[in-house]
Amino acid sequence: MRLLHPFETSFGATQERHVVLVKVWDGAVGGYGEVTAAEGPFYSHETWETAWHILRDYIIPAVIGKEIQDPGDFRSFVQGIRGHNMAKAGLETALWDLNARIKNVPLWKALGGVRERIDCGVSIGIQPSIDKLLAKVAAELSAGYRRIKIKIKPGWDLEIVKQVRDAFPNTLLMGDANSAYTLADVELFRKLDRYNLMMLEQPLHYEDIIDHAALQKEIETPICLDESIHSADDARKAIQIGACKIINIKLGRVGGYREARAVHDICRDHGVPVWCGGMLESGIGRSHNVALSSLENFSLPGDVADSRRYWQEDIIEPSVEVSGDGQISERAGAGIGYRVKEDLIDRLTMRSQVFSA
């Protein structure tokens, strides 16, 4: 699937997406999941090809033909496979969808969600010019989005944040560095403190919490961790040492709903708000993000936005729609609550494989 616009972060730009989808079929009902790994190993070590390999050769053989009463049991089958959380989440989230469809309940309710409408923000990539960025921010605000995230990197940071803040003094604004800095940049972050950012996402190394804790002591702006948090245990440690005040939860990064809920719960118990991150998902991954965001402690606007920001035509029907006041409504239907356009998926498919018990 080709993104309508290239998306650029501190680690590079992307436009062509290879989306690995997982469909689980119990003989009567199907459930769908999405692997959120990118084309290259830049956000994380996983790519869509490594996910395919790990699913085909390890995850699916560990699960196929097994009796699964509860999708939370999935973890016990794949415990021996280290890492590859996005590959695991592709199948785990499909099992949650399947289970909710079998029980004929909306997935967000099966998860224990309480928010019938979720607050939406947008993530705006690095732009060719500050004028283009300002125009994008203005357009997203008039579309109704409640929070603006701008990607930053060395050379596209202080001045950019200043100009956006000057132009939009009252907007909920944050920056996401995707690990582009080190502790040597602490002066820069002190200067960023002037611009009343809601948070600064993952400024330092993608596996670090120690340096983030040191940085958080030096600055006022809350640090939000993304890349560094792969589990509830990571979240506990990060909170314990003061590495962050907010956590972004992504289903892929943590390996699915079971761990996402555990991260959510640990954060809630420590008074740390969370929000749902995005990975430029197709409608299937996006609908899972909508369901996850219904949980109580998702109290900040997430990066879950309207399908039309990304795709000419999405693979679910209806597509994910954001209201004029920046919200998405949870669906009343069973499972993810959207119809999956299998015919369109067939036309877009470049590789597929069927595994039977």
Cβ 111 to ligand OSB, closest distance in Å? 20
Options 94-102, 164-172, 234-242, 276-284: segment touching ligand OSB (CB under 6 A): 276-284
Cα(288)–Cα(81) distance, rounded to whole angstroms? 23
Q: Which of 8, 92, 176, 208 binds Mg ion (CB under 5 A)?
A: 176
Query: Rounded distance, CA 123 to CA 126, Å?
Result: 10
CA pair distance 142, 216, nearest whole angstrom:
33
Residue from 46, 226, 259, 314 touching Mg ion (CB under 5 A): that is 226
Burial code (b: 16+ CB inside 10 Å, e: under 16) for 151-174 equals bbbeebbbebbebbbeeeeebbbb
DSSP state of 330: P
Site size toward ligand OSB (CB under 6 A) is: 11
The only residue of 99, 123, 216, 327 in contact with ligand OSB, by rule CB under 6 A: 123
* Residue among 151, 153, 245, 341 flagged as catalytic: 151
Residue 52: both structure tokens together: 């395919």
Taking CB under 5 A as the rule, does residue 34 contact Mg ion? no
Q: What DSSP letter does each residue of 80-108 carry, written as one string? A: TS-S-HHHHHHHHHHHHHHHHHHTTSBHH
Site string for ligand OSB, 16-45 (x = CB under 6 A): ---------------------------x--
> Is residue 278 near ligand OSB by the rule CB under 6 A?
yes
Q: Where are the alpha helices (DSSP H) in the chain?
A: 48-54, 60-63, 74-78, 85-102, 107-110, 130-143, 158-167, 186-192, 210-218, 232-241, 251-254, 257-269, 283-292, 342-348
Residue 277 found at the interface with ligand OSB (CB under 6 A):
yes
Please choose which of ligand OSB, Mg ion, none residue 280 contacts, taking the beta carbon within 5 to 8 angstroms, the exact cut-off set by kind: ligand OSB
- Exactly one of 88, 136, 153, 250 is catalytic; name it: 250
Residue 306 and residue 33 in contact, taking contact as beta carbons nearer than 8 Å: no
The structure tokens listed for 233 are: 């245990």
Q: How far is the CB of 6 from Mg ion (least distance, A)?
A: 17
For the bound state, the minimum distance from the C-beta of residue 356 to ligand OSB, rounded and expressed in Å, comes to: 33
Q: Which of 118, 204, 279, 291 binds ligand OSB (CB under 6 A)?
A: 279
97 belongs to the binding site for Mg ion (CB under 5 A): no
Active site residue 151: yes
Spatial CB neighbours of 81, under 8 Å, sequence gap ≥ 6: 54, 58, 59, 62, 88
**Among Mg ion, ligand OSB, none, partner that 278 touches (CB below 5 to 8 angstroms by kind):** ligand OSB
Active site (catalytic) residues: 151, 250
Contact positions vs ligand OSB (CB under 6 A): 43, 123, 176, 178, 226, 277-280, 303, 305
